[in-house]
């Protein structure tokens, strides 16, 4: 018998079980690693004394797989996987993906569209009398009435559409144990959720609420009125705080959705305990013959040290899922995990990441948050850094130093979600210097997302001047250390509020510094973000003022093409975009021109020497490019996964341009 939890009747028999307390159904393959939400919740329940079985990627054509391990004693718990099943299946252009990193062998199609909904119906069919509760990112972000990008309409709460008894939103270690204990003591259905923080449920009246509540516009109202939809989202965001947040009510016909306040953040001691549970740190061995589970490659030798993000970008679901309050593990806990990693097969001395939603957050933004919660109508880093913020990397730097000195560790990398604006808020350069010297390998990836302050305003990001200051400081430190390392920016096109003129402004900047990105992310309207509310309503929920939104395929293609204006296949779109914006002055032979008025495949850049194009349509020194950077959500939501890591595999390492020298990427020499 191996150390994994049972995934079959035979596994249960080998353990001497004739029943399980909870059956966890997931759209992912079973990977027993703390970067996977299913692994954490199952181990937390096991630690609380419950028998847990895992049903991963069941056949969704009928309920046969649900019946194999028998009816669970208390409940079926369902999640769609580490990322939303619709994001897993479709690009931002709604094109079907061919692969799935969370499936054995990377094969696509092993989970259904809207996996939580399908699995819930099958669970009800298999076990009519057994409670069903939902969790994970897919259910969490659909707990209220929400705009669905794929159906292009407002849909009701996932509780209404699935008929489930309740949903656990956010990080659910506290919620799931309290819910389990209520079920154990005889509570049933929605009653088991009453009073449990971090849960939502449906009722016919609100006579016995245990928390003060506010009401947001009903499902019927948000379907009929876009301003009501925007107001609804604003209320939901305002109350997403474990300290000051109230319960929220939303009517759906004759029933009322009740969302209790968010669960209390885990203390450092609780975080340490969760990450010390007996994870096998790998996928189930039954997947080996199928090629393994590709998603493990990104996290197998990585460490999560924190949760939450007070950056709260508008396009990221983290604020609505994990919250803005920072939770951290102790140094001892992280070091203990690192020592385990050094003993794992295949470890070659490199810890790939020591991060989380935002790698360099080790404390709440300010001391006020501990007592009063996060400010309702203010952001910590937007539009400028709050005067109360305590930007201090001392603790994180000390943790990295300790990890570097563990026997068997050659290098410790920091790769996920550095907030450069937070780094710039600290006057001390000690962390910046050691990051450049010890914790990156040739290039550092950060996410300015755009350079137009108009676009950045709607994204909830600071002015581009902050990035420019960061870039200059990065260049100076590299020069002082004698390093030639690059800065690789993530950029986003077609975000609500970003106009064609903004895209042209960014293209001009990229041309000026001699850099063309290999990856550009089209804005992806996933449920549960302020940006998605802007996309649907064309209203900014923060101000209730109108917002321009690039919605048509033509408008979105133009903004994206402008960010990659050198690519031969983008030439007709770039020319059309410049003409539409009446910027024909950028079509020509001058240094400031984006594109020359040549024909066919003649793609010499203005003012450049002869520039050849290969038969593959890739300029000299280039290579075919993958332009679909999947977000948490996000995580880099940037669509955030339940574990706090970026929800999908990162893009391939992008090399700086090999043609024209890049003022963006390369450190400059002093004159």
Question: Which of the four pLDDT bands, split at 50, 70 and 90, describes residue 599?
Answer: low
The mean pLDDT value for 560-566 works out to 94
Rounded to whole angstroms, the Cα distance separating 475 from 486 reads 9
pLDDT value at 616 more than 80: no
Architecture, CATH, for domain 9-210+249-257: 3-Layer(aba) Sandwich (3.40)
pLDDT value at 36 more than 60: yes
Question: Which of the four pLDDT bands, split at 50, 70 and 90, describes residue 620?
Answer: very low
The pLDDT value recorded for residue 285 is 96
Percent helix, strand, coil in the chain, to 5, is 35, 15, 50
- Rounded (10°) angle between helices 553-563 and 571-580: 110
CA atoms within 13 Å, Cβ hemisphere of 94: 10
The pLDDT value recorded for residue 641 is 37
CA atoms within 13 Å, Cβ hemisphere of 138: 29
Cβ atoms of 140 and 167 within 8 Å: the answer is: yes
214-240 pLDDT tens trace: 999 999 999 999 999 999 999 999 999
Q: What is the DSSP letter of 291?
A: T
- Smallest CA-to-CA distance from 660 within 585, 569, 591, 602 is with 591
Question: Which of the four pLDDT bands, split at 50, 70 and 90, describes residue 665?
Answer: very low
C-alpha separations of 572 from 360, 492, 503, 552, 561 in Å: 42, 21, 16, 17, 9
Q: What is the DSSP letter of 638?
A: B
Q: Check whether the bond before 469 is cis (ω within 30° of 0).
A: no
Q: Name the least confident of 190-204, 526-540, 631-645.
A: 631-645
**b or e along 28-42 (b: 16 or more beta carbons within 10 Å of the residue's beta carbon)?**
bbbbbbbbbbbbbbb
Per the model's pLDDT, the better-predicted residue between 626 and 267 turns out to be 267
Q: At 259, list the tokens.
A: 């969302």
Question: Which of the four pLDDT bands, split at 50, 70 and 90, describes residue 89?
Answer: very high
Residues annotated within a binding site for [4Fe-4S] cluster: 309, 313, 316
Question: Which of the four pLDDT bands, split at 50, 70 and 90, describes residue 441?
Answer: confident
For the chain, percent of residues with pLDDT exceeding 90: 84
CATH topology classification for 301-564: pyruvate-formate lyase- activating enzyme (3.80.30)
Backbone angles phi, psi at 154, to 5 degrees: -80, 130
Rounded to whole angstroms, the Cα distance separating 629 from 653 reads 12
Cβ atoms of 380 and 310 within 8 Å: the answer is: yes
The pLDDT value recorded for residue 15 is 95
Radius of gyration of the chain (CA): 25
288-299 pLDDT tens trace: 999 999 999 989
Q: Is 629 helix (H, G, I), strand (E, B) or coil?
A: coil
For all residues of the chain together, what is the average pLDDT?
89
Cβ atoms of 51 and 22 within 8 Å: the answer is: yes
Q: Is 350 helix (H, G, I), strand (E, B) or coil?
A: strand
C-alpha separations of 63 from 67, 69, 161, 502, 521 in Å: 7, 12, 19, 51, 38
pLDDT value at 147 more than 70: yes
The mean pLDDT value for 615-632 works out to 33
Cβ atoms of 250 and 200 within 8 Å: the answer is: no
pLDDT value at 602 more than 50: no
Cβ atoms of 541 and 533 within 8 Å: the answer is: yes
* Residues in the chain, total: 671
578-595 pLDDT tens trace: 999 999 999 999 999 999
**CA dihedral of residues 130, 135, 141, 142 (deg, nearest 10):** -10
The pLDDT value recorded for residue 509 is 95
Q: Is 601 helix (H, G, I), strand (E, B) or coil?
A: coil
The pLDDT value recorded for residue 98 is 93
Rounded to whole angstroms, the Cα distance separating 122 from 132 reads 11
Q: At 444, list the tokens.
A: 């550092």
- Smallest CA-to-CA distance from 22 within 54, 65, 44, 47 is with 54
The domain ranges of the chain are 9-210+249-257, 301-564
Residue 307: strand pairing partners: 327
Handedness of CA 414, 417, 421, 422 (dihedral sign): negative
Cβ atoms of 317 and 529 within 8 Å: the answer is: yes
The pLDDT value recorded for residue 82 is 95
C-alpha separations of 236 from 280, 476, 480, 633 in Å: 37, 43, 48, 18
353-399 pLDDT tens trace: 999 999 999 999 999 998 999 999 899 999 999 999 989 999 999 99
The pLDDT value recorded for residue 123 is 97
Residues annotated within a binding site: 309, 313, 316
The mean pLDDT value for 313-320 works out to 92
């Amino acid at each position: 018998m191996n150390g994994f939890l049972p995934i079959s009747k035979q596994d249960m028999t080998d353990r001497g079980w004739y029943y399980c307390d909870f059956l966890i159904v997931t759209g992912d393959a079973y990977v027993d690693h703390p970067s996977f939400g299913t692994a954490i919740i199952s181990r937390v329940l096991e630690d609380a004394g419950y028998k847990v079985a895992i049903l991963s990627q069941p056949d969704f054509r009928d309920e046969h797989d649900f019946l194999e391990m028998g009816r669970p004693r208390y409940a079926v718990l369902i999640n769609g996987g580490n990322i939303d099943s619709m994001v897993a299946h479709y690009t931002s252009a709604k094109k079907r993906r061919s692969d799935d990193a969370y499936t054995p062998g990377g094969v696509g199609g092993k989970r259904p569209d809207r996996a939580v909904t399908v699995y819930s119906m099958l669970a009800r069919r298999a076990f009519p009398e057994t409670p069903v509760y939902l969790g994970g990112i897919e259910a969490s972000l659909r707990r209220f009435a929400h705009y669905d990008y794929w159906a292009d309409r407002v849909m009701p709460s996932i509780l209404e559409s699935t008929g489930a008894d309740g949903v656990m939103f956010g990080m659910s270690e506290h919620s799931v144990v309290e819910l389990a204990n209520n079920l154990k003591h005889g509570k049933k259905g929605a009653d088991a959720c009453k009073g449990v923080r971090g849960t939502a449920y449906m009722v016919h009246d609100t006579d016995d609420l245990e928390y003060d509540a506010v009401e947001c516009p009903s499902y019927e109202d948000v379907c009929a009125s876009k301003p009501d939809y925007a107001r609804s989202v604003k209320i939901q965001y305002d109350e997403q705080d474990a300290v000051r947040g109230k319960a929220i009510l939303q009517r759906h016909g004759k029933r009322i959705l009740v969302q209790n306040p968010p669960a209390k953040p885990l203390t450092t001691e609780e975080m340490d305990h969760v990450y010390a549970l007996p994870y096998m740190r790998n996928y189930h061995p039954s997947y080996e013959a199928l090629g393994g589970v590709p998603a493990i490659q990104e996290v197998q030798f990585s460490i999560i040290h924190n949760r939450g993000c007070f950056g709260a970008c508008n396009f990221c679901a983290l604020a609505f899922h994990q919250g803005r309050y920072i939770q951290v593990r102790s140094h001892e806990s992280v070091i203990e995990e690192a020592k385990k990693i050094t003993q794992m097969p295949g470890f070659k001395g490199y810890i790939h990441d020591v991060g989380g939603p935002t790698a360099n957050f080790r404390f709440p933004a300010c001391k006020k948050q501990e007592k009063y919660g996060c400010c309702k109508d203010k952001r910590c880093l937007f539009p400028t850094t709050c005067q109360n913020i305590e930007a201090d990397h001392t603790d994180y730097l000390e943790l990295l130093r300790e990890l570097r000195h563990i026997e068997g560790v050659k290098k410790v990398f920091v790769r996920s979600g550095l907030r450069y604006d937070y780094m710039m808020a600290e006057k001390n350069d000690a962390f910046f210097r050691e990051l450049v010297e010890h914790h990156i390998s040739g290039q550092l990836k950060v996410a300015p997302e755009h350079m137009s302050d108009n676009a950045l305003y709607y994204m909830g990001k600071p002015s581009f001047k902050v990035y420019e200051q960061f870039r200059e400081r990065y260049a100076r430190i590299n020069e002082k250390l004698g390093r030639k390392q690059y800065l690789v920016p993530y950029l986003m096109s077609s975000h609500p509020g970003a106009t064609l003129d903004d895209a042209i402004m960014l293209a001009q900047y990229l041309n000026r510094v001699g850099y063309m990105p290999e990856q550009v992310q089209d804005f992806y309207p996933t449920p549960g973000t302020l940006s998605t509310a802007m996309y649907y309503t064309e209203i900014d929920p923060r101000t209730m003022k109108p917002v321009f939104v690039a919605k048509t395929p033509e408008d979105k293609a133009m903004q994206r093409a402008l960010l990659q204006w050198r690519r031969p296949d983008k030439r007709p779109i770039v020319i059309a975009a410049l003409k539409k914006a009446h910027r024909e002055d950028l079509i020509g032979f001058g240094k400031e021109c984006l594109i020359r008025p040549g024909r066919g495949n003649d793609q010499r850049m203005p003012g450049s020497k002869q520039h050849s194009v290969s038969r593959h349509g890739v300029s000299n020194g280039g290579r075919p490019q993958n332009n679909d950077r999947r977000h948490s959500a996000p995580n880099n939501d940037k669509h955030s996964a339940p574990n706090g890591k970026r929800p999908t595999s990162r893009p391939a390492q992008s090399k700086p341009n090999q043609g024209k020298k890049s003022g963006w990427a390369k450190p400059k020499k002093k004159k």
